Structure 1
Amino acid sequence: MTGSLLADTAPVWDDGRWTPLPTLHGDVSADAVVIGLGGSGLTLIEELLRRDERVIGIDAHDVAAGAAGRNGGFLLAGAYDFYHDAVRRYGRERARAIYAATLEEIPRIAEAAPGTVRPVGSKRIAANAAEIRDCREQLAMMQADGLPAEWYEGTDGVGLFIPTDGAFDPLTRCRMLAARARRDGATLFAKTRVDAIEGTRVLTPHGVIHAGRVFVAVDGKLETVLPELVGRVRTARLQMLACAPTAEVRIPCPVYYRGGYEYWQQLPDGRIALGGLRDHGGMEEWSLEPKPTATVQSALEAFLRSHIKVSAPVTHRWAACAAYTETGLPILEQVREHVWALGGYSGTGNVIGALCARAAVSAALDGDSAPAQRLFGESWSAKVTHGGWLAQ
């Protein structure tokens, strides 16, 4: 089996009813421009509008056309690392602060997009004896810090149940946020690629945006928009598939398996959305090309049949690009004067991305670093870093 590219369908979340946004033609101006209309960018726009800013938002494709609308639909508390790993990596105080902030954010996401979130919890299922021991370590650390977690044993395996997590429809959520932003006065454009950012001027193929501040809320391919981040973020291709509705299994909540290399959920109509197995694709999956490949899709379909025990036909195959950082913590900093970068969520941006958006607006407009310091520590600074990490 080769890694040749396959035809890409719409993600399973797409109901086909969205009317694409217009494309920018001509020069425009605003107090702030937001580049990227995914979850982070749309949360940024929401926060800017609350401060009576004139806002323009643009996307190279359309609302949530990248990872924000093409992910697994998990709402998970915490950072990229499992909680006990985050404690070892960042220290107990910071790990706990990040987890607490994400726990607070999940209800806000549900409130902002009614009907898109199912508060059903999530499972981490161990793939072997070593992972069972690791799950016990995670459980002990979470319980010691008063975080909700339960030991789980069932027909689908052994591991943890996290009752505060959930499932959601990521694409519908973003489209709801975009529609509300437009009603509230934001001007949004699709198919508007950034050719360059010169000061706070954003150059696009058919017009220039003049703004007081620029927020680059792009996850996958962030390093192509802001070249100074090359080497600090790296873009990977994440692949998924979905099958027709089935009653062969009943999966009540999202499942992480093999440390997160496989993940799946069952939608209310019975369809299974399955992603992962990026390691089967090897180095080819460090890619800027958001197209499914035969190698990974073959492995996903085999997993659907042999592990999940579903024979329903595959109806959707899709991919998206997401950026990873060596630290597991996202990028949130002012990379140039009045130019802010948000991204590098390491495949877990649904909740942490919204938090970064709120923290960026608080720092940039209010001079309030507290939300960012809660995530990144007291040494976080809003000063221009010229490529340096935000929290030394």
Structure 2
Amino acid sequence: MRETRAESIWRDGLDLGLGALPDAVRADVCVVGLGGSGLSALAECRQAGLRCVGVDRHGVAAGAAGANGGFLLAGQAAFYHDAVQRYGRERALGIYALTRSELARRYAQSPDVCRQTGSLRVAADAQEERDCVAQIEAMQRDGLPAVPYLGAEGRGVLFADDGVFDPARYWRELAATLVAQDVALFRGEVGDIAPGVVTMTSGRTVRADLVFVAVDGGLEALLPQFAGEVHSARLQMLATAPDATVTLQRPVYFRDGNDYWLQRADGRIALGGGRDLGGDEEWRAADGVSPRVQAHLDALLRDRLGSRAAVTHRWSARVAFTQRGLPVFGEIARGVFATGAYDGTGNILGALCGRALARLALGERSALSEWLA
């Protein structure tokens, strides 16, 4: 493979680091994990007037939050008609409605980072085309925006609400806002989590009345009680130099979402997927990329997208999946709350879970907390 940078294109050039945790810290709230759900929980708690501390092993958006595909998608990981069948119409429709509202909020508040472009699900074969038809029928029946699509990308479904964003930049800006509001953010590896105290591997501690664990990939390692329900895998991606010969107007899900790509405003293409082709290694490996999956991504780039631009970045990020297909969410011990494992679609749902978890800890039930219980 060509010499490339082994890091996310989104994080390239951004300072996302943090200072080390002091000897001991006391706060009302300690959040473990500074991705989308953790930062969102901190924002909610700070708005409530609480003293907040956040810790992360590496820094802001150091995991999948800063190394994902850059998609802003309504709904859950399961396609809507599958979610209805699995979880019931009320829950599936309710969660979809919440994610649509979150999308609208993002576009209004951060138009320079979040763009409403619509997204496509493009069928790879006749069987998937039939499934696209079933998805459209179910969504239209419930008043959701989904229409048939036939264009240069192929045949499938167009979802008008969806969009794209720069994930690392978005979460870095939220982190900067929190720091300006006196939220303390530190780097440190967590060794133990117990009611009222988070202990780092260095022996330093954060003592807090409320503890939130907001971690996606690797959640089952940090909280071993979820080892049977949660399993983490790496998702691999590549990115190119700007390509003026290819124009991709919308992000695309292909092959039942196993492959996905978009083109940034600067002309660079970000393309990921192939986890289903990588075998058990994708579940065992903590990071890095594999020749097999990257060769699949190269073939998509050259043969399906028609791009000849140089590949500049190859990277992976770990995300967690649950057996039931819904995120971990709720109180796991007295004063200790957890959320994570978004099945690879945490950009919107993760933020909603972080805010809802904070409200739950402060005594406020929400529709999302009821649906995820």
Same-fold call, TM cutoff 0.5: yes
Q: Does 1:298 align with 2:299?
A: no
Across the aligned residues of Structure 1 and Structure 2, the Cα RMSD in angstroms comes to 1.5
Contact 1:287–1:321 under 8 Å retained in 2: no
Unaligned runs of 5+ in 2: none
Q: Does 1:179 align with 2:176?
A: yes
Equivalent residue for 1:204, pick from 178, 200, 206: 200
List aligned pairs for 1:107-186, cutoff 5 A.
107-186=104-183
Unaligned runs of 5+ in 1: 381-392
Equivalent residue for 1:228, pick from 221, 225, 230: 225
1:389 corresponds to: none
Q: Does 1:66 align with 2:48?
A: no
For 1:25 and 1:8, the matched residues in 2 are separated by: 33
Give identity over the alignment, percent.
48
Contact 1:359–1:369 under 8 Å retained in 2: yes
Equivalent residue for 1:325, pick from 319, 322, 325: 322
Equivalent residue for 1:251, pick from 248, 253, 263: 248
CA-to-aligned-CA distance 1:272-321 (integer Å, 9 cap, x gap): 10000111211110035121122211211121111111111100001000
Runs of 4+ in 1 over 4 A off after TM superposition: none
1:27 to partner: Cα distance: 0.5
Equivalent residue for 1:13, pick from 10, 13, 25: 10
Contact 1:113–1:176 under 8 Å retained in 2: no
List aligned pairs for 1:68-83, cutoff 5 A.
68-83=65-80
Q: Which letter maps to 1:193?
A: E
For 1:59 and 1:143, the matched residues in 2 are separated by: 42
For 1:11 and 1:137, the matched residues in 2 are separated by: 35
For 2:223 and 2:153, the matched residues in 1 are separated by: 43
Contact 1:34–1:57 under 8 Å retained in 2: yes
Q: Does 1:42 align with 2:27?
A: no
Q: Which moved more, 1:280-289 or 1:264-273?
A: 280-289
1:366 to partner: Cα distance: 2.8
How many positions carry a matched residue from both structures? 371
Contact 1:235–1:288 under 8 Å retained in 2: no
1:214 to partner: Cα distance: 0.6
For 2:126 and 2:46, the matched residues in 1 are separated by: 50
Contact 1:240–1:318 under 8 Å retained in 2: yes
1:197 to partner: Cα distance: 1.2
List aligned pairs for 1:89-108, cutoff 5 A.
89-108=86-105
1:149 to partner: Cα distance: 1.0
Residue 205 to residue 15, structure 1, CA distance change in 2 (3 Å):
same
Q: Which letter maps to 2:287?
A: P
TM-score by length of 2: 0.96
CA-to-aligned-CA distance 1:336-383 (integer Å, 9 cap, x gap): 11111110100000011111111111111033244412x33xxx3xxx
3-state secondary structure, aligned to 1:320: strand
